């Protein structure tokens, strides 16, 4: 067995052939791990097989021969678990047709249509083995074998270790955590904060404003995690602070770019790619209002995204809040 454990575990099934699913498939295969990559559409699967490149979501990165592409969900029967790498809006539809004996590793950083965590959705559908994979992981970099770290969280430590050993490679360092809600919600919330960071960039409000926003955003994330029974200090790990730093500052970030486009009067969802933070901002804000919880940055993003506030009104609302100690 190698130091990474790569040679001791079976091939990996990746359900979802978008940018992140393709990047994981490329990275794992380049390090000697055969991968079966499932695409929802048969024509898209055929395109990937013929061109050996995902020109739509991960252009410029070749799919190695070790990536077997299919649109047949029947392949699931040959695997004990799978990386589920479809957008959050499509997770329920996919899970509903998968065998409940399958272990599912949820990789989308969003919520279900009714505001549930995706792992809660999986539990409600009868999946006993559940985990999430989250961290500062831009597909464009992981697919090019640039170094990155991530965390797999599950209440089932044996399952978490199994996934860790199967995905750990010389360029992708994977940690484990028992704090499933904390790791999962960190990824959801950081997308909303990245939208806000993009708005700051688009309005050219400066470095001070962005640093202040990110710091208070991290505090807001921690409070929300604690309210959901998660460990508040999880927010300072890879799925919280780490992912926030990457997403709020990167040219690869869809959410940051969407906020910047919105600030410049453009369509935030330009290009047809999923921007998870747009939907999460509304779902989280609805929850906060219903439960009397204070999520001021999430609320401001939601109000701006829905057109209830102008960008200037959003900034004024945050800057005009009551004075208080920093730790509140």
Q: What is the pLDDT of residue 1?
A: 46
Task: Give the whole-angstrom CA distance, residue 315 versus residue 326.
Answer: 19
pLDDT tens digits, one per residue of 256-315: 999 999 999 999 877 667 899 999 999 999 999 999 999 999 999 999 999 999 999 999
Determine how many CB atoms are found less than 10 A away from the CB of residue 189.
30
Q: Which of 190, 210, 299, 324 is catalytic?
A: 190
Task: Give the whole-angstrom CA distance, residue 126 versus residue 203.
Answer: 46
Backbone φ and ψ for 129, nearest 5 degrees, come out as: -100, 110
Q: What is the pLDDT of residue 273?
A: 76
Task: Give the whole-angstrom CA distance, residue 35 versus residue 15.
Answer: 10
Q: What fold characterizes domain 12-178?
A: Rossmann fold (3.40.50)
Q: What is the pTM of this model?
A: 0.93
- Asked if 60 and 84 touch (Cβ cutoff 8 Å), the reply is no
Give the mean pLDDT of the chain: 95
Q: What is the pLDDT of residue 9?
A: 55
Q: Which tokens hold the place of 211? A: 């640093």
CATH code given to domain 185-320: 1.10.1040.10
Secondary structure (DSSP) of 134-165: ESS--HHHHTTT--EEEEEE-S-HHHHHHHHH
Q: What is the pLDDT of residue 272?
A: 67
190 is catalytic: yes
Residue with tokens 């508040």: 232
> Residue positions in the annotated binding site?
16-21, 40-41, 57, 109, 135, 139, 190, 243, 253-255, 273-274, 276
- What are the residue ranges spanned by the domains of the chain? 12-178, 185-320
- Asked if 153 and 237 touch (Cβ cutoff 8 Å), the reply is no
> Residue positions in the annotated binding site for substrate?
109, 254-255
In 96-206, alpha helices (H)? 118-124, 139-142, 157-167, 180-203
> Residue positions in the annotated binding site for NAD(+)?
16-21, 139, 254, 273
Q: What is the pLDDT of residue 112?
A: 96
Task: Give the whole-angstrom CA distance, residue 230 versus residue 219.
Answer: 14
Task: Give the whole-angstrom CA distance, residue 88 versus residue 197.
Answer: 22
pLDDT tens digits, one per residue of 120-160: 999 999 999 999 999 999 999 999 999 999 999 999 999 99
Distances, alpha carbon 103 to alpha carbons 9, 71, 160, 163, in Å: 15, 20, 10, 10
């Amino acid at each position: 067995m190698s130091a990474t454990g790569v040679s001791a575990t079976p091939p990996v099934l990746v359900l979802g052939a978008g940018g992140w699913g393709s990047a994981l498939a490329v990275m794992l295969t380049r390090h000697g791990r055969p991968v079966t990559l499932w695409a929802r559409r048969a024509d898209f699967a055929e395109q990937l097989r013929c061109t050996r490149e995902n020109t739509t979501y991960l252009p410029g990165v070749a799919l190695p021969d070790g990536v077997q592409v299919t649109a047949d969900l029947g392949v699931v029967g040959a695997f004990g678990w799978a990386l589920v790498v479809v957008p959050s809006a499509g997770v329920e539809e996919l899970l509903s047709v998968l065998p409940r004996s399958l272990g599912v590793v949820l990789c989308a950083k969003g919520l279900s249509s009714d505001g549930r965590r995706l792992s809660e959705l999986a539990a409600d559908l009868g999946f006993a083995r559940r985990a999430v994979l989250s961290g500062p992981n831009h597909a464009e970099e992981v697919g090019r074998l640039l170094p990155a770290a991530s965390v797999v969280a599950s209440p089932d430590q044996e399952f978490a270790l199994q996934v860790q050993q199967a995905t750990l490679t010389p360029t992708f360092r994977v940690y484990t955590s028992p704090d499933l809600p904390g790791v999962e919600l960190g990824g959801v919330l950081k997308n909303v904060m990245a939208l806000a960071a993009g708005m700051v960039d688009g309005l050219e409000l400066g470095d001070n404003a962005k640093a202040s926003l990110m710091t208070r955003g991290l505090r807001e994330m921690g409070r929300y995690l604690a309210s959901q029974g998660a460990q508040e200090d999880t927010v300072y790990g890879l799925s919280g602070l780490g992912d926030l730093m990457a997403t709020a500052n990167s040219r690869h970030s869809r959410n940051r770019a969407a906020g910047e486009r919105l600030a410049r009067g453009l369509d935030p969802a330009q290009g047809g790619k999923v921007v998870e933070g747009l939907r999460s901002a509304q779902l989280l804000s609805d929850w906060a209002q219903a439960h009397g919880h204070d999520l001021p940055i999430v609320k401001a993003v939601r109000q701006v995204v829905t057109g209830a506030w102008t960008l200037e009104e959003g900034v004024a609302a945050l800057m005009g809040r009551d004075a208080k100690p920093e730790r509140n």
